[in-house]
A and B are shown apart, each in its own frame.
Chain A
């Protein structure tokens, strides 16, 4: 019968948990006991068999089911009016600085240089998309074709103001950052017609959007009265797990 102490040492050794101070004792036991050696081989073989099984893949769609079933507290940094705009709805929910009219279909009106506090959101009739009313042609665009994210970002003229139209599909969460610092533009509003964006922040002349899955949204930009540069551009950076995976800019002149 194998000594209980030796059996314990052998088990710890097999589990990689043997205290270094016990190694000599185990070594001595193994040298003098055929039973101890046989037991050790059996334990190693058993561990090998159990650990030879591959990890199982969770069923497809399980993580989506989990995510859809969990509600988190409302983001603290997000203003109430913006949160309301980003709430997933079955109809397009369009917002622009100043005004946005909805009569049967979306009609985007020129953005006024009004104060952000006067923002008004107007519901868009069901079936109308957020890009209805935007011109087909773009002032500039970026194509994104990476493993983790694909799609396009288009800058369109809105009769004096501008609209940045995002159409992205990402398999993993990615953060899209837009640098307005050299654009002479400032944030005017956002519209989206797919599920809620995980994050949308405007700070220090930058926009940051967290994108996952298929997302379509339009960011409205209005001209800043203080900027007069002729080589205006928007910097766009896409990051995944805090690593930049894409960088580009859209130049749109003076």
Chain B
């Protein structure tokens, strides 16, 4: 899990122009942000683009960051917003690719060849965005209800209810594909 004190120290150093601190922050967050973006977008190239934009925005807005709040909540919020915006911009093309991907496979083949990962990703992409995001933050970013609430600016109660609904849908999808 991210260390807030260390993050704040690195941010202070970045504000003073320390590129080593910048390198350490990028190293710390590149992978988790990439994974979250990938699970929201379902595409590696798009996820990489989003990660780059996220870091650019973070460092452009460094003066706006309030150290009373957790840095990781801030960067995750930017990442989720950016991923959703990216998805909306490219939705038509992505949907076509997903439909082609789904149509070219069958459940038996997925399970037999151990491609559970693909089944899960397709299930995620079938969820509406607000459901997908809570599943990603909970299961792939390992955030608590409170963390998710801070990232998304929604009450914890809403986090729980979205998670519940999303899980029911994921469960049905996985059962349909023979994974559960």
Query: What 1/0 mask marks residues of chain A from 51 to 76 whose CB sits below 8 Å from any chain B CB?
Result: 11101111100110111011111111
User: B18, B30, B52, B55: which contacts A198 (Cβ < 8 A)?
Assistant: B18
17 A-B residue pairs with CB within 8 Å: A7-B164, A11-B167, A12-B160, A15-B163, A17-B144, A17-B145, A50-B135, A50-B140, A53-B120, A56-B34, A57-B31, A62-B51, A63-B23, A70-B59, A75-B18, A198-B18, A198-B20
Bound Cα distance from A11 to B139, whole angstroms: 13
The yes or no answer to A113 lying at the interface (CB within 8 A) is no
The yes or no answer to A8 lying at the interface (CB within 8 A) is yes
- Inter-chain contacts of B44 with A (CB < 8 A): 56, 59
- Inter-chain contacts of A52 with B (CB < 8 A): 116
Distance between A162 CB and nearest chain B CB, rounded to angstroms:
27
CB-based nearest B residue for A50:
B139
Verify B16–A67 contact, CB threshold 8 A.
no
- Inter-chain contacts of A175 with B (CB < 8 A): 20
Task: Decide: A72 near B22, CB < 8 A? Known: A50-B139, A63-B27.
Answer: yes
Query: What 1/0 mask marks residues of chain B from 16 to 36 whose CB sits below 8 Å from any chain A CB?
Result: 111110111011001100110
Bound Cα distance from A76 to B13, whole angstroms: 10
User: B17, B56, B167: which contacts A46 (Cβ < 8 A)?
Assistant: B167
User: A15, A42, A49, A57: which contacts B120 (Cβ < 8 A)?
Assistant: A49
User: B16, B48, B52, B138: which contacts A15 (Cβ < 8 A)?
Assistant: B138
The yes or no answer to A87 lying at the interface (CB within 8 A) is no
Which interface class (under 10, 10 to 19, 20 to 34, 35 or more) fits A?
35 or more
Verify B52–A11 contact, CB threshold 8 A.
no
The yes or no answer to A23 lying at the interface (CB within 8 A) is no
Verify B163–A49 contact, CB threshold 8 A.
no
How many chain B residues touch A (Cβ–Cβ < 8 Å)? 42
- Inter-chain contacts of B14 with A (CB < 8 A): 72
Distance between A46 CB and nearest chain B CB, rounded to angstroms:
5
The yes or no answer to A29 lying at the interface (CB within 8 A) is no
- Inter-chain contacts of A71 with B (CB < 8 A): 59
- Inter-chain contacts of B55 with A (CB < 8 A): 66, 69-70
Which 4 pairs across A and B sit closest by C-beta, in order of nearness?
A75-B17, A58-B34, A50-B139, A198-B19
Verify A76–B16 contact, CB threshold 8 A.
yes
The yes or no answer to A125 lying at the interface (CB within 8 A) is no
Bound Cα distance from A72 to B56, whole angstroms: 10
Bound Cα distance from A25 to B117, whole angstroms: 36
- Inter-chain contacts of A70 with B (CB < 8 A): 22, 55-56, 59
Query: What 1/0 mask marks residues of chain A from 28 to 56 whose CB sits below 8 Å from any chain B CB?
Result: 00000000000000110111011111011
Interface centre among A50, A66, A77 (most CB of B within 10 A): A66
User: A53, A58, A74: which contacts B30 (Cβ < 8 A)?
Assistant: A58
Bound Cα distance from A80 to B170, whole angstroms: 58
The yes or no answer to B77 lying at the interface (CB within 8 A) is no
- Inter-chain contacts of A193 with B (CB < 8 A): none
Bound Cα distance from A27 to B180, whole angstroms: 25
Task: Decide: A51 near B19, CB < 8 A? Known: A42-B171, A63-B27, A63-B30.
Answer: no
